[in-house]
Amino acid sequence: MVARGRAVVILEFEVRPSRSPMPDVERRSILAAPVFGQAFTDHMITLRWDDERGWHDGRLEEYQNISLPPTASVFHYGQEVFEGMKAYRQPDGSVALFRPERNAARFNASAQRLAMPELPVETFVQAVELLVRQERHWVPDGAGTSLYLRPFMIATQPTLGFTLPSRSYLFCVVASPASAYFSTRTGPPALTVWLSEEYARAAPGGTGAAKAGGNYAAAFLAQRQAVEQGCDQVVWLDAAEHTWVEEMGGMNLCFVQQPAGGGPATLMTPALTGTLLPGVTRDSLLQLAARLGLGCEEGRLSVSQWRKHCEEGLITEVFACGTAAVIAPVGHVRGAGGGWTIGDGSPGPVTLRLRDELLGIQYGRTTDELRWMRKVC
Ligand code: COI
């Protein structure tokens, strides 16, 4: 098949529906109050790659355990990449994905960094759509809920050799009904964050821009430290100087800055220096902010500037953003050298406005002028 002068790869997926899907009653009870990452749907997608056949054996099959030899490369050298995306119930009952081709492109950038095979964008989207169509009755319709999709790829070659990357891989997509990652009955809570000055998430030349499991594995210790300090999430600083603010947990950070001379606020987010994850939500919010008449800047901010600018009223709001979290306001910052409050410590008007705009598009409440939504079924 050819589209816009370019060959489009369409792979066949064999469809093998589950013989024992979850009974309706049980599924409905999960959908009534879904908890992020706890329950999984009846099916999954699997697709294999090896260096002789390329991509092959695509299937939609029953959600089940994966059987691998204990020597599969992923268990030893951590060759794994993943994505996070969501399918949203629309007002007319249909289901739509948000910018799925952006996730496909980032998946390939991650795969490329970890010396793994790339998956044609069309095949990635085709696989995700096939699963969403099969699991359409698993898409919840409560406020702030969605079907969270987790495409991932692992290295499966049974080898302990560390000369060349694995010669075989498994691509998989699983789905999980979800509510917002951080939520209260009255809206998003303001988080308290811990500045990690001891550990670093990513160094120049490393894998920080890839959505690779190893980055998250290396983050647990600092995240646990944050929780021990009474905080919700860790904030990462740059690895070289431990000075420049990079990310929060597994999400990007945004700062609402007020210009000294008055005028519209600016949405500032740390620039993609190669050590940060290029978030799809981050990119979407920069575009929405510009359309709302805010200034937009991809810059850099030190911890001391962050504190000083909050004290001077130049930074009035801070929030984290990502697919799972959507927009999570940050109210308080703590670190070894003390802490401070952002604004009055509660979610600010720019944060809430941007959140409303984004959710409005995702849930089909506002016109999708940027054509970000892709109707699936
Ligand atoms: C996402 O936002 O989709 C992520 O992968 C972040 C993860 C920490 C839940």
Q: Which atom of ligand 1 is nearest to the CA of 324?
A: 2
Burial of 362 (0-12, 13-18, 19+ CB in 10 A): buried
Q: What is the pLDDT of residues 329-368, one digit of tens each?
A: 999 999 998 999 999 999 999 999 999 999 999 999 999 9
pLDDT of residue 1: 42
Please tell me the distance between residue 19's alpha carbon and the centre of ligand 1 in angstroms: 31
Topology (CATH) of 191-362: D-amino Acid Aminotransferase; Chain A, domain 2 (3.20.10)
Whether 223 contacts 191, CB under 8 Å: no
**What is the Cα–Cα distance from 290 to 284, expressed in whole angstroms?**
10
Q: Residue 6: pLDDT above 60? A: no
DSSP 238-261: -TTTS-BEEEETTEEEEEEE--TT
Percent of the chain scored above 90 by pLDDT?
Answer: 93
**What is the Cα–Cα distance from 135 to 42, expressed in whole angstroms?**
8
| Ligand 1 pocket, residue 103 CB under 6 Å | no
Confidence of residue 180 (pLDDT cuts 50, 70, 90): confident
- Mutation test of ligand 1: which of 191, 251, 285, 321 has the most ligand atoms closer than 8 Å to its C-beta? 251
| Ligand 1 pocket, residue 324 CB under 6 Å | yes
Position with higher pLDDT, 261 vs 41: 41
* Domain assignments of the chain as residue spans, ordered by start: 2-179, 191-362
Amino acid sitting at position 374: R
| Ligand 1 pocket, residue 84 CB under 6 Å | yes
Claim: this prediction has a pTM higher than 0.85: yes
Q: Whose CA is nearest to atom 8 of ligand 1?
A: 250
Please tell me the distance between residue 322's alpha carbon and the centre of ligand 1 in angstroms: 7
Q: What is the pLDDT of residues 212-235, one digit of tens each?
A: 999 999 999 999 999 999 999 999
Whether 270 contacts 299, CB under 8 Å: yes
Amino acid sitting at position 78: G
**What is the Cα–Cα distance from 100 to 123, expressed in whole angstroms?**
11
Confidence of residue 189 (pLDDT cuts 50, 70, 90): confident
Q: Which atom of ligand 1 is nearest to the CA of 36?
A: 9
**What is the Cα–Cα distance from 117 to 123, expressed in whole angstroms?**
13
**What is the Cα–Cα distance from 40 to 19, expressed in whole angstroms?**
16
**Tokens matching residue 360:** 């409005």
| Ligand 1 pocket, residue 151 CB under 6 Å | no
| Ligand 1 pocket, residue 331 CB under 6 Å | no
Q: Whose CA is nearest to atom 6 of ligand 1?
A: 250
Please tell me the distance between residue 308's alpha carbon and the centre of ligand 1 in angstroms: 30
Q: Residue 2: pLDDT above 50? A: no
Please tell me the distance between residue 198's alpha carbon and the centre of ligand 1 in angstroms: 23
Angle (deg, nearest 10), helices 100-113 and 280-291: 140
Amino acid sitting at position 93: G
Whether 78 contacts 218, CB under 8 Å: no
| Ligand 1 pocket, residue 279 CB under 6 Å | no
pLDDT of residue 9: 65
81 bridge partner residues: 153, 212
**Tokens matching residue 346:** 């509660």
As a whole number, mean pLDDT of residues 3-28 equals 84
Q: What is the CATH number of domain 2-179?
A: 3.30.470.10
**What is the Cα–Cα distance from 153 to 156, expressed in whole angstroms?**
9
**Tokens matching residue 59:** 């299937």
**Tokens matching residue 134:** 């099969």
Q: Which atom of ligand 1 is nearest to the CA of 82?
A: 5
Q: What is the pLDDT of residues 282-297, one digit of tens each?
A: 999 999 999 999 999 9
Q: Which atom of ligand 1 is nearest to the CA of 279?
A: 2
Q: What is the DSSP letter of 302?
A: B
Q: Whose CA is nearest to atom 9 of ligand 1?
A: 324
3-state secondary structure of 328: strand
